[in-house]
Structure 1
Amino acid sequence: MLSARYSHRPRPLLGAAICLLLGACAHQPQEAPEQSRETPETTRAPADRPPEEIVEASSEATEAKSAETEASEPESAGSPARAFPIDAFYTLLVAEVAGNREQYDVALANYYTQAERTQDAGVAARATRIARFLNARRAALRASRLWVQLEPDNPEAQLAATAELTLAGDLDDALLHAKKALALGGDAPLQSLAATATSNRPLTDAMLPEFEQLAAQYPENGEVALALAMMLRASENYPRALGIARRVQEQHPDNLDAPLLESHILVDQEKRGEALQLLEKLVSVYPDESRLRLQYARLLIREDLEMAQRQFARLVKQHPHDGNMVLSLALIRFETHNYTKAKPLFERLLALGEHESAAHFYLGGIADEANDTGTAVAHFRQVEPGGDYVPAITRGTELLAASGQAEDNSEWFAELRRRHPEQSEHFYLMEVELLQKHDRHQRALELLDGAVEQHSGSGRLIYARALLNNQLGNTADFERGMRKLLQQDPDNPTILNALGYELIGDEERLDEAHRLIAKALELRPDDPAIIDSMGWVQYRLGNHSEAVKYLRKALEQLPDHEIAAHLGEVLWVQGNREQAMQVWRDALEKNPQSKIIPAAMKRLQINESLEQHASDT
């Protein structure tokens, strides 16, 4: 982000510039000096001064200005006054009127068009400043390129080109213009350039020598030195970066970028205590400097949440309309369960129109904590796509389901599918999962039938329906779904294994089950679920030794109670009953709620409990 000193924004009242123009045109003396008279066809263009001069001039001074003065004033630094055709003049006049009416897009379009047509540096400068004020990045880049082309010896033009090229990611050209700006005695946003470069380590390494050269050329320039320190930090040369940051503080005590960078480097070196001490001292010296306090507050979050909360409260008091500050304080208060004080902060974000999705998400959470289901759901439904989107939907629909509002849930998911058709499958699966969680399996199956009809090629939906059919005992429908999936993807080991495992239960289809599982295992030889299936089918085929080999390997890779149930059963049938009981006992220690192991024991007609068997042995 560019610092304030590089933004070159027009002063807030763009209309003041237009007042000057209109005043100059409407109040020119009738008898201007002979040498300044101009014909209508060659009337000079307005807005020929930097916005800073224009805005600061009073309307009275404007009206008093003579036509001679207006005609002779330079267009831009180093650029002589010159005459414009009448159509250019009126186009620029329209631009100023549009600006007065806050139609800034029209003002910008007209200025840039005339900058290209007239090739006038003053008009290009004006177009650049307006574009930067509006954060119209593409227009600002084009205008600044034109300006610096027309007026290469203007350091402000070089600075603007550097800044816009940096934002556009064209760092090589940005550095060239930065060097020219420095050579002309101007400033250059090298810290912004360095910050962009350091997002990419190879780029940092490639550009570091350029920054080294600049630092040697301008040893007293704090901006250049700090940019080099940032590059060195990104290269993990922390001692040298820290030394430069401290030297800049000695040379330029009022440059607060230097201690801020020092605090970051100290954190990189795991010296958080030193960083906190530094920032605590700086905050006491500069209590109104928000950047320092913000860095201090952020570091405190991990060390002292209560102190961090006090710092963010101070920041919000200083900047009540800064959405980022308000959100930070609101989140801390939410995390510390101080919902009473967090709620009005989230509501302030809604009033500001900033971070609205986050505000709705956490207001929903606060209402949820208060068991206010209606309010919670209302907020969750207003969360937009982003990091909180799926959690908001998940919790909101869960609340509706738990309160028996199934129809409202159905409408919500239907609305989500209409709003985001590209995510339709995902929302179907979410709704199915919720229905199954609340034992509405038949409704889930009906929903999947409709979903598969709508998305006939969706493997995820077909697979989900097949598994649900299997759960409901619809074996034929399960197999039909799996066969359809294998037609689409015959070498899918997950599908091969799932179908093969289910076929093990049919004595007449054991050979087919073995073929399917063997192919799956060939495709994915280290998958413990497939290894377990192979062990189980070997057992059903009567190959007990082979079965134990596969099942032991599967259990080593994945200590799962179902695999343990299989291995214990094979060992029991082999007569290795102590080993079987030990396998089951170990598995139940890890998963005491398992129903599979007791079911296996019941099937084998094992009457004694594991505890009894342990005492007997």
Structure 2
Amino acid sequence: MTLLAKFGLIVAALFIVSCTLTPVQQTPASTPTQQQTDYQSPRETRSFEKETLYELLVAEFANKRGRPDLALGHYQKQAHITKDAQVTARATQIAQQMGAQQAILDTSMLWIDIEPDNVHARVTATLQLLKYKQFDQALDQVEALLDLSSTLKYDQLLRNTTRANATQRSQIIQRLTSIIKKHPNNAQLWAIKAMLENSNNLMTDATNSIMQALTIKPDYTHAILFNSGLLIKLGKNTKALNYLEQQSKTYPLDKNLGIAYSKVLAKRKDHPKLSKQLGTLAENFPNDPSVLLSTAQIAQSTQLIAIAKKHLNLLIERDQLTIEAHNFLAQIAAGEDDFDAAAEHLKMIKPGPGYTAAQIKIASIQQRQGNIEAARETLQSAQQLAPDETLAFQLAEAELYSKDEQHQKAINILNIIINKKPEATSALYMRAMAYAELNQYQQMEKDLRIVLKFQPNNTAALNALGYTLADHNNRLEEATNLIEKAYALSPKDPAIIDSLGWLKYRMGDNEAALLLLRKAYSLFKDQEIAAHLGEILWVMDQKEEAQAIWQNGLETTPDSVIIRKAMKRLTQ
């Protein structure tokens, strides 16, 4: 390579670094905590030692080649060596892109040391300190920010204070009281104080604080909604409704307030007032498609189907949010058992965003109508138009066959996927379930173990394998380890709670089993949970309740094989 060529490469490389470090005014990575911050004049650039330039160059190339970890290491090191604001800002940016939480905190705090008046640096540090529950240090940053910017959304910036425990909340309230003395006209500080007081059940203090916020800023939407919530918590439901009605009339162009009032009316099933309010919203925001979509959702949830359809069809006429509108209309049509209309709406979603999901829904409708061949053709045709979504369409086709109890055909399709992509955990899990339906439990276990090799914390696989072992009264210690791990990862999942209850039953701990199965059934009225709960009640001589649980399960799923098997085995 000639010397000139080498020189050209060096110049080009340094140009890349200089472009990266040029002080462009950037908006912080889409955080809801900032509106426009006060203007900061461009920084002056500075020259670096050769070693620094070399490391920054290596960092940029590493980042462009998909190794942000290496880039961050170099930038973080040079940030501490050079104490340069632009290098530190770039280190913070890369750390944020990676989600490297400790590095974000480190570099943002360094950035503050270098540029104490930089709002972006202090906001970033505040968010990280709150994440680590270093509340006092976070409030130090908030105090500094209050002197730097009057346009920040402090209520959003400080909402993570709700992660504090009661004692910590008391300390934050005390600190906020001190800060408010210096900034008594900041409505957002009063609102966040009210929120913390409410969390500590200091209802009088919370009411006083939120009223202070509203005195300072009467049209403060967050405070209005919070105040209505306080009234409801205090049992003043009618007063809360009247208050929201009055506020929505006072501020008719506040869409969030209007939608919130609509939701309260929907919850109270006050259809006359709700119909009027939804119409008012549509009239007040004729060019805001999000309002029409929200009002349609609220209308549909309260069976005001005509209003929902009207607003959704308006969206389609205006060519706004058409994917969402067609999907919603398809959902409404399916709820009315008009599956042909549902399919027609879904067919209006063309290749692009939403297309794959729409085609899979069409196939599901066709399968439900008993036309599995049409469903298969739908998926295969869609695959031709969206080849990048081949995996999703193949999984959907396999699921169609499984639902049609053609499990071997499902396995055949899943084999194709797994042969091409052995780490396809969705296909492996689905194939395991198909093997279970064919009573091929060794193959099922093999697939589930492969899933757990790739994803050790996959709760569905942990639960399925643990439940199968428990159900066959086999290797109960191993079943216990699997199900308890799944339960620790997802303690509110009714399927996992059911498995744990069934395991306790198999191990002879009927009292613990009954508690768990009752909890699972309260969360999800599933036929299998009903079968299990009915069985444990029966063996504990609570036969009348067992019969009632089984009958409820059969009302929901009349053709339930598992419930009928349990009843036959235990009652005959």
- TM-score norm. by structure 1 comes to 0.51
Contact 1:229 1:242 in 2 (8 A): no
2:88 maps to 1:193: no
Query: Which letter does structure 2 place at the counterpart of 1:232?
Result: A
Query: Any idea what SS the aligned residue of 2:160 has?
Result: coil
1:521 and 1:527 in contact (8 A); partners too: no
CA deviation digits over 1:366-421, x for unaligned, max 9?
45444325413315677957xx996x666432212245213334327747995457
Deviation at 1:320, TM superposition (A): 0.9
Deviation at 1:359, TM superposition (A): 1.9
AA of the residue aligned to 2:475:
I
Q: How many Å apart are 1:354 and its aligned residue?
A: 5.6
What amino acid sits opposite 1:235 in the alignment? E
Residue 180 (structure 1) aligned with residue 142 (structure 2): no
Offset of 1:193 from its aligned partner?
A: 0.7
Residue by residue over 1:189-245, the C-alpha shift from the partner in whole angstroms, topping out at 9 and shown as x without a partner, is 36x2123202332579465455423432354x3xx2552233232332432232244
Q: From the superposition, tell whether residues 200 and 350 of structure 1 become closer, same or farther in structure 2 (CA, over 3 Å).
A: farther
Give the direction of change, closer, same or farther, for the CA distance of 1:595–1:297 in structure 2 (3 Å limit). closer
Structure 1 counterpart of 2:205 = 240
Q: Which stretch has the larger CA shift, 551-560 or 210-219?
A: 551-560
Distance (Å, rounded) in 2 between the aligned partners of 1:583 and 1:277 = 44
1:229 maps onto 2:195 in alignment = no
Q: Does 1:319 align with 2:285?
A: yes
Distance apart, 1:284 and its partner CA:
4.6
Distance 1:596 1:136 in 2: 50
> Residue 246 of structure 1 aligns to which amino acid in structure 2?
M
Matches within 5 A, 1:7-26: none
Q: What corresponds to 2:365 in structure 1?
A: 399
Match of 2:228 in 1: 263
1:90-101 alignment to 2 at 5 Å?
A: none
CA deviation vs aligned residue, 1:354-373 (integer Å, no higher than 9, x gap): 64543231122245444325
One-letter amino acid of the counterpart of residue 278, structure 2: F
Give the match for residue 74 of structure 2: none
1:361 counterpart = 2:327: yes
**1:345 aligned onto 2:311:** yes
In the TM superposition, what are the counterparts of 1:443-454 in structure 2 within 5 Å?
443-454=409-420
Whether contact under 8 Å (1:497, 1:533) holds in the other structure is no
Equivalent residue for 2:239, pick from 274, 279, 288: 274
Change in 2 beyond 3 A, CA 1:269/1:383: farther
Question: Given the superposition, is the C-alpha separation of residues 175 and 148 from structure 1 closer, same or farther in structure 2, using an over 3 Å criterion?
Answer: farther
Q: Partners of 2:479 and 2:252 in 1: how far apart?
A: 67
Could you report, residue by residue, the CA deviation over 1:563-616 in whole angstroms, capped at 9, with x for unpaired residues? 989999xx9xxxxxxx9x999978965666666798799999xxxx96xxxxxx
Match of 2:274 in 1: 308
Q: For each residue in 1:543-565, what CA deviation from the matched residue of structure 2 results, as whole angstroms up to 9, or x when unmatched?
A: xxxxxx69999789768658989
* Cα distance change on mapping 1:148 and 1:413 into 2, 3 Å: same
The CA deviation string for residues 13-72 of structure 1, in whole angstroms up to 9 with x for no partner, is xxxxxxxxxxxxxxxxxxxxxxxxxxxxxxxxxxxxxxxxxxxxxxxxxxxxxxxxxxxx
Counterpart position of 2:300? 334
User: 2: distance between equivalents of 1:494 and 1:249?
Assistant: 53
Q: Is the 8 A contact 1:555 1:563 kept in 2?
A: yes
The DSSP-based 3-state class of the residue aligned with 1:199 is: helix
Q: Residue 372 in 1 paired to residue 335 in 2? A: no
**Map of 1:507 onto structure 2:** none
- For the 8 Å contact 1:463–1:482, the answer to whether it is kept is no
Whether contact under 8 Å (1:565, 1:597) holds in the other structure is no
Once the two structures are superposed, residues 265-292 of structure 1 have per-residue CA deviations (whole angstroms, 9 ceiling, x without a partner) of 3345443322222233344555556565
Where in structure 2 are the equivalents of 1:38-117 lying within 5 Å?
none
What is the distance in 2 between the residues matched to 1:324 and 1:583? 48
Pick from 461, 475, 478 the counterpart of residue 517 of structure 1: 475
- 2:414–2:427 Cα contact (<8 Å) kept: yes
Over residues 103-132 of structure 1, what are the superposed CA-to-partner deviations in whole Å (9 max), with x where a residue is unaligned?
xxxxxxx9x97xx6xxxxxxx9xx79xx79
Local SS of the residue matching 2:150 = coil
Q: Is the 8 A contact 1:242 1:265 kept in 2?
A: yes
Matching of residue 146 in structure 1 with residue 41 in structure 2: yes
Q: Displacement of 1:248 after TM fit?
A: 6.0
Aligned partner of 2:442 in structure 1 is: 479
* Contact 1:436/1:444, CA 8 A, preserved across alignment: yes
Q: What residue is the counterpart of 2:403 in the other structure?
A: 437
Contact 1:531 1:551 in 2 (8 A): yes
Query: What SS is found at the alignment partner of 1:432?
Result: helix
Give the equivalent residue in structure 2 for 1:456.
422
AA at the equivalent of 1:297: S
Q: Which moved more, 1:329-338 or 1:318-327?
A: 329-338
Question: Greater CA deviation, 137-146 or 279-288?
Answer: 137-146
Counterparts in 2 of 1:310 and 1:165: CA distance versus 1, 3 Å: farther
CA distance in 2, matches of 1:263, 1:316: 23
Task: Decide whether the 8 Å contact of 2:262 with 2:298 is kept in 1.
Answer: no
Asked if the contact 2:432/2:444 (under 8 Å) is kept, the reply is yes
* Counterparts of residues 524-543 of structure 1 (less than 5 Å): 527=500, 529=502
Give unpaired runs (5+ residues) of structure 1. Answer: 1-109, 117-123, 150-159, 182-186, 503-513, 535-548, 572-578, 611-617
CA distance in 2, matches of 1:600, 1:327: 46
CA-to-partner distance for each residue in 1:497-524, whole Å, 9 max, x for gaps? 747977xxxxxxxxxxx8x535545646
Q: Tell me the matched-pair count.
A: 420
CA contact (8 A) 1:323 1:352 kept: no
Q: What corresponds to 2:14 in structure 1?
A: none
Deviation at 1:449?
Answer: 2.3
Cα 1:235–1:411 shift into 2, 3 Å:
farther
Partner of 2:182: 217
Change (3 A) 1:551 1:249: closer
Question: What is the letter of the counterpart of residue 265 of structure 1?
Answer: L
The aligned amino acid for 2:311 is L
Asked if the contact 1:531/1:550 (under 8 Å) is kept, the reply is: yes
2: distance between equivalents of 1:498 and 1:442? 20
What is the distance in 2 between the residues matched to 1:551 and 1:437? Answer: 34
